[in-house]
Amino acid sequence: MAEQQFYVGIHGVIASRGRILVLKRAPAMPYRAGSWDLPGGHLALGESFEDCLLREVKEETALDVAIERLLGLHSMVSEPYLQALYSCRLTVFQKVQLRPDEHVEHRWVTPAELASLELIPYLAAILKRGMLSYLN
């Protein structure tokens, strides 16, 4: 099999009171605009997974979180991405502040409510795989 370039995405499952935080991608986003996503982003060269996640969550939501554990890795043959998913908790309950060029809405949802949203492909796949079942 030929080698191909791919991206590493680091995402946080930020849980509070049985709900997780999801963000709706802005219309100007080049990939899957309008889809719901978890906070996170692409790993930068020389950055640890954990540092990437803390940076991305802060940039996208203004929240401070503590990383609890790695939930798992996910990839799909049809997409050039590998996602690392971490369970996180809020260190202080704060108001979510979005960057409007990236996300236009946020919601705290249960896993059942998550299934009714238009999800970015990796999130739909990990929900179907049961990677978020520990929240039930």
Domain boundaries, the chain: 14-107+117-135
pLDDT at residue 135, rounded to an integer: 73
pTM > 0.75: yes or no? yes
- Residue 13 CB partners (closer than 8 Å, separation 6+): 20, 38, 71, 85, 86, 87, 88, 132, 135
Q: How far is CA 27 from the centre of its chain?
A: 18
- Model confidence over 68-106: pLDDT tens digits? 999 999 987 777 888 999 999 999 888 999 999 999 999
pLDDT at residue 39, rounded to an integer: 97
CATH architecture of 14-107+117-135: Alpha-Beta Complex (3.90)
